[in-house]
Amino acid sequence: IFINKDTVHMTDNQALAQAIKLHSSGDVAAAEKSYRTIIQSGRMAPEAYINLASICQSTGRAQEAIKLCQAAVNIAPQFTQARVNLALTLLSEKMFDEAIIQLNELVDSKPNSADIYNFLGIAFKGAGQFEQAISSYEKALQINPDFFQANQNLGLLYRGQGELLKAQDCFQNALSKKPDYLDAKNSLGLTLMDLKKYQEAEIQFEAIIRLQPKFLQAHFNLGIVQKLLAKFSSAVSCFKTVLELKNDYFDAYYQLALIYEVLKDYKAAQVSLSDVIKLNPTYPEAHRVLGRVYLAQNKFELAEESFNQAISVNPNYSEAYNDFGFLMESQGKLTEAAEKYQKAIEINPQYGAAYRHLSVVHKFLEGDSLIEDMETLYSSYEDNSDSENRKHLGFALGKAYEDIKDYAKASKYIDVANQLKRSEYSYSTDDDIQLFDQLRSIYNNLKAVQLTLADSEVTPVFVVGMPRSGTTLVEQILASHSEVQGAGELTEFSNLLFKYFPYSLWPNCFDKDDVAGKLKGLAIDYLNIIKEKSLGHTYVIDKMPLNFRFIGFIKLIFPQAKIVHCGRDPFDTCLSIYKNSFAVGNSFSNNLQEIGHYHNLYKELMEFWSEQFPNELYSLSYESIVQQQQTESKALIKGLGLEWQEQCLEFYNKGSSVKTASAYQVRQPIYNSSVKSADKYGQMLEPLVPIIGKDCYKLIVNE
């Protein structure tokens, strides 16, 4: 709120007229001198007081402005503009109670002024008197139904109180009166985001930018919503535009870092985060995300340093403690991990994600007080008032009741958690059917392509299969060998494939003359990446399970690559997917029917690859390696052409980083409690039976 210097009460007084002329022409210093001369002369000129007050207000002298406006009111109590300016100056200084007194005086003298009621609404809102604020805005709109600013202010109040549908109505009403009211469009877009109507929000922000290309906040908000829609390239462009308009907007750098983190472009994320920290060294969120970025690269000491920095800036930063816990868990420091998760919960007892993470490293027993704590919190969200925390608690309680062998209760919580998570995104099995069909047909068209690659110092080992099929266990056994380095679940192969051959252009982009050149470029880029991760080892494991989709491309460009296919009982596999919460990706994983259909697609595609590459895929089952560890481990090592080393039997002592849902399990000696685990959840898994059948477990194993 500001005082408009053009708001003056004209007079015949020549000195005042001259002062107003100077003021209007922009000669503020001369105008101020003239106003002060008039006031010092003792003339009863309230106009001089309020105009001098406007100068003081605009030059940061608010308290003097208030005194001048009050003097004008004292001189001329019936001079309405003096009281209006006093009220607005008080509002600008957040002196809401004092402003309310002045505005109530104005209501008595101007009962039909919509403006006064609008200002009164602002004052009541600032004072925390929300019902009175709503009443004031509604009175303003009753007097003037076309008062779009009052609709905007009422909408902002409702949004602040979480009354999102009412807020949406208010912003739409404002726009019906003034379609080019950009602030209302922006507010409507933010409210639609709150309602998770991301595509509708995107339309609002894009409309603002068409009308006003330099509306900085619209570019920023559009970037946020496009990030939520996984339109990462477009979101990056938005945040870069923000930085062109305002190069010290550190939150835009921060949002870029978050996107680069999702895309696993960790170097770019580090650059953006360093820019944030340069601009705002005490921004704890930047230090926390930097810690996550270092963790993703197995730079544990740097990650720990960043998490500690975030906590030193904000000792009550529960999210930083939660991430710190995951750092400890990834290194097998399970006691320390539990302590960090517990600290996060101590700071924020409603932190559902911390409970879920704690449940992974905590062995629950009958009568465990942690179960009671989680159930109490879970019950408080029965109306889905906080679906995010309820979702995390559901997965945690599912794990808790599984530990104490109450599978009926575990099923109940797991089902609800998955329903909540599935509601967060759109997915269709049809999209994967199309992808898998294209993978087969494209490979059939490409398999005659001849590529010539120079010998590489490293040999990639792809460990593939359905998620939760034992890929982490196999990686840990292999990585215990002195010639093998485990690199974890890498997205680089699929990222490079879609970089060289954008999926939107499939299958036509594979008909071009430069296909061989692009495949060679993909191969060189990937080999450079894994060479950097090899740490001098000859073999590097990429255990991204879903790389099973790309076996045709892998064998085409890396004929020397080793591919290990992990299979597991379909019901055990689907159960393990369903009861564990994946951080990103695996959109099929939160609905049993969709998991079952995806499993069938996987099975059919693996049969196709096995036909194309007979005796070139090393296949083994989770059950066999659990039940015959030594025999299967020796065969696995031999299958890679390596000499047996005894330490491969004690993989759990290796201490390498594991950042998947198996992080706890692979720190223990092999156990077989997960074999036939689906039998304990028969009723919950019934939707799978008509899809994958009761007797469908078949795995092609090397002779």
Tell me the pLDDT tens digit for each residue of 561-616. Answer: 999 999 999 999 999 999 999 877 799 999 999 999 999 999 999 999 999 999 99
Query: Across-strand partners of 485?
Result: 540
Is 80 exceeded by the pLDDT of residue 653?
Answer: no
Q: Determine the topology of domain 429-673 in CATH.
A: Rossmann fold (3.40.50)
Show contacts of 667-676: CB within 8 Å, 24+ apart: 667/332, 667/334, 670/473, 670/625, 670/626, 670/629, 671/626, 672/626, 672/627, 674/572, 674/576, 674/622, 674/626, 675/569, 675/572, 675/622, 675/623, 675/626, 675/627, 676/569, 676/572
CA angle at 599 for the pair 596 and 604, rounded to the nearest 5°: 130
pLDDT computed for residue 449 by the predictor: 83
Is 90 exceeded by the pLDDT of residue 44?
Answer: no
pLDDT computed for residue 13 by the predictor: 74
For residue 43, how many other CB atoms are within 10 A of its CB? 14
Is 70 exceeded by the pLDDT of residue 667?
Answer: no
Rg from Cα positions in the chain: 33
- Sorted by where each begins, the domain ranges of the chain are 328-423, 429-673
pLDDT computed for residue 665 by the predictor: 53
Q: What is the Cα–Cα distance from 255 to 132, expressed in whole angstroms? A: 38
pLDDT computed for residue 669 by the predictor: 61
Segment 385-414 shows an average pLDDT of: 96
Q: How far is CA 69 from the centre of its chain?
A: 49
Residues in the chain, total: 703
Q: Tell me whether the CATH fold assigned to 328-423 matches the one assigned to 429-673.
A: no
pLDDT computed for residue 569 by the predictor: 95
Mean pLDDT across the chain: 92
Q: Which two tokens stand for residue 412?
A: 């109940």
Phi, psi values for residue 484, rounded to 5°:
-120, 135
pLDDT computed for residue 473 by the predictor: 94
For residue 385, how many other CB atoms are within 10 A of its CB? 10
Class of domain 328-423: mainly alpha
Model confidence over 292-344: pLDDT tens digits? 999 998 899 999 999 999 999 999 999 999 999 999 999 989 999 999 999 99
pLDDT computed for residue 78 by the predictor: 86
Model confidence over 433-468: pLDDT tens digits? 999 999 999 999 998 887 877 678 999 999 999 999
Do residues 576 and 478 make contact, with C-beta atoms less than 8 angstroms apart?
A: no
Q: On the CB side of 496, how many CA atoms lie within 13 Å of its CA?
A: 22
Q: What stretch of H or E contains 541?
A: strand 539-542
pLDDT computed for residue 703 by the predictor: 33
Is 50 exceeded by the pLDDT of residue 144?
Answer: yes
